[in-house]
Amino acid sequence: MVNHNGPIGLLDSGVGGLTVAREIFNYLPEEEIVYYGDTLHLPYGPRLLSEVREFVINIIDYFIIEKKVKAVVLACNTATSAALKMVQKRYQIPIFGMIDAATRRARQITKNKKIGVIGTEGTINSQAYQRSLMADDHSLEVFSAACPEFVELVEAGKFTGQEVENYAHKYLDGLIDVEVDVLILGCTHFPYLIPVLQKVMGEQVQLVNPAVEMAREVRSTLEERKMLKKAKNQQNKISGQQFLVSDISRISQQFLEEGSKFLGLPNLEFKEKNIFV
Amino acid sequence: MVNHNGPIGLLDSGVGGLTVAREIFNYLPEEEIVYYGDTLHLPYGPRLLSEVREFVINIIDYFIIEKKVKAVVLACNTATSAALKMVQKRYQIPIFGMIDAATRRARQITKNKKIGVIGTEGTINSQAYQRSLMADDHSLEVFSAACPEFVELVEAGKFTGQEVENYAHKYLDGLIDVEVDVLILGCTHFPYLIPVLQKVMGEQVQLVNPAVEMAREVRSTLEERKMLKKAKNQQNKISGQQFLVSDISRISQQFLEEGSKFLGLPNLEFKEKNIFV
């Protein structure tokens, strides 16, 4: 029997998934979350699929046994590509991934049927978004671009400014030329850059933030299954108990300062909990 | 009046375009070529379009005035994306680019309508191949992957071996999963890696080498226009006079040794000719 007052577990290889946590707070303000950033094994992108799957299973087991979660969000594109289908079969509780809600939304809102996808090299080369987009609709034109430097800029706390704009032009000018009217931000780090991305792409291009689509999906699924939290009177409180990482030495102070402002979580702090020992 | 016995001019930012020179030798063995590698401005990828256009115009002017070329090949994907349309308008002689012949061929040979494109980050993000593929045929599914390390492996003379195979898997496994049946090698460095690429993709996948398609196009266009060389009795001879670079210090000895073997040009050597001073 699932505890409907249990938290929602979010997992990522690091801090990128915090943009997903923010949307969960926005769309499900009564719910509690527990966040696990597997910084010990960061980044997941270059690892073998089998390794990523093992890490994900370890974290979900920890979430279920120790934290009594009622649902899990894979707040990480690599973990979603590598493990979502497998863990959805393995566990009884609802488990959500980054990709399909975003591609459904993109298909709904495109008018000219030209959709852009940006992500890390690993996510773009996995073809996960492209495949999901084209699965049902062969009339779409999908254009993708790998934007590796965006992750480093975000991790260094650089969300705006000339350097970010220069990289944005370098990566996105080709997508502007082909006139995509929707751009999917296929990396959980990228929402920090939305102001610059929107400026460079132009106002006529709709940005799809998969974290938002995922949060909507979590809300509607938990509603359908009558799994939303009963006690609605308390606003979500942030504490270090909820934000866990496997290696705290890999969280940069610079990111923590900029990131906590951006996320609207002024008291954001992490606690180390290595479940892999 | 164009001199039909003039050479064909090939330009690139470096040594990648030598794979194009090889196919020109194969398909037009009676013709003479002059190759210009603009190593002073290498790599073209990260530069502004306006800069690349200026370099290309400088080189074509030099080809026409000093070398009396009868045709020019932009043996470089970046130069093709940046300048082909503009120089085709500006000059009377035939000028060929890397992209359209390759995408025509890919469309002809695909059976499942799933086409992969690999290239540098710059070429992939420019969307040039993807746009050319989808221009006429909206039923195609195009999947692209940026493979930046391939260029460095080739420039270090590493064409085969475990390291190359590991990178090939990292970059290509996503394209294998979506079952592309045609793979376009959208970078002039990549033909050096064909044995590994074919092994990793599997024999059922057809590799399209744009250099081959371009050489066929050059042959048929020059035939149509009755511009093929009249004197057919002499085999092409290689000399340092034909292979020019703007900065010879940037040609690695290691590449020259492996590259000249691969290209079947045992006496390959470069002469420095800086036309930009």
DSSP string across A104-153 = HHHHHH-SSSEEEEEE-HHHHHHTHHHHHHHTT-TT-EEEEEE-HHHHHH
CATH of range A100-210; options 3.90.1150.10, 3.40.50.1860, 3.30.420.40, 3.40.50.2300: 3.40.50.1860
Catalytic residue among B74, B187, B200, B205: B187
Domain A8-98+212-272 CATH assignment equals 3.20.20.120: no
| Mean of all residue pLDDT scores within chain B | 90
pTM of the full structure = 0.82
- The rounded distance, in Å, linking the Cα atoms of A16 and A150 is 12
Tens of pLDDT along A55-103? 999 999 999 999 999 999 999 998 998 899 999 999 999 999 999 999 9
Answer yes or no: same fold for B8-98+212-272 and B100-209.
yes
Q: Do A146 and B146 touch (CB under 8 A)?
A: yes
Q: What average pLDDT does range B5-26 have in this prediction?
A: 91
Distance CA A217, CA A27 (A): 10
Q: CB–CB of B100/B56 below 8 Å?
A: no
B96-123 residue pLDDT tens:
999 999 999 999 999 999 999 999 888 8
B177 → closest Cβ in A127, A175, A178:
A127
Domains of chain A: which residue ranges? 8-98+212-272, 100-210
With vertex at residue B55, the alpha carbon angle to CA B54 and CA B59, rounded to the nearest 5 degrees, is 115
- Any catalytic annotation for residue A187? yes
CB nearest B124 (choices: A138, A139, A145): A145
CB pairs A-B closer than 8 Å:
69
C-alpha neighbours within 13 Å on the C-beta side of residue B105: 23
Choose among B37, B98, B100: nearest CA to B252. Answer: B37
Q: What pLDDT score was predicted for residue B230? A: 75
Chain B residues interacting with chain A (CB cutoff of 8 angstroms)? 46, 121, 124-128, 130-131, 134, 138-139, 141-146, 148, 170-175, 177-178
User: CA of A172: which chain B residue's CA is closest?
Assistant: B125
Query: In angstroms, rounded to a whole number, what is the distance separating the alpha carbons of residues A80 and A73?
Result: 9
Among A127, A136, A171, most B C-beta atoms within 10 A, so best to mutate, is A127
SS3 A232: coil
Active-site annotation holder among A69, A95, A187, A200:
A187
Over residues B167-209, the pLDDT tens digits come to: 999 999 999 999 999 999 999 989 999 999 999 999 999 999 9
Residues of chain A with pLDDT under 50: 233
Q: Is A147 a catalytic residue?
A: no
Q: What is the CATH number of domain B100-209?
A: 3.40.50.1860
Q: Is the pLDDT of residue B61 over 60?
A: yes
Are B125 and A170 within 8 A, CB to CB?
Answer: yes
Query: Which residue of A134, A170, A174 is in closest CB contact with B127?
Result: A174
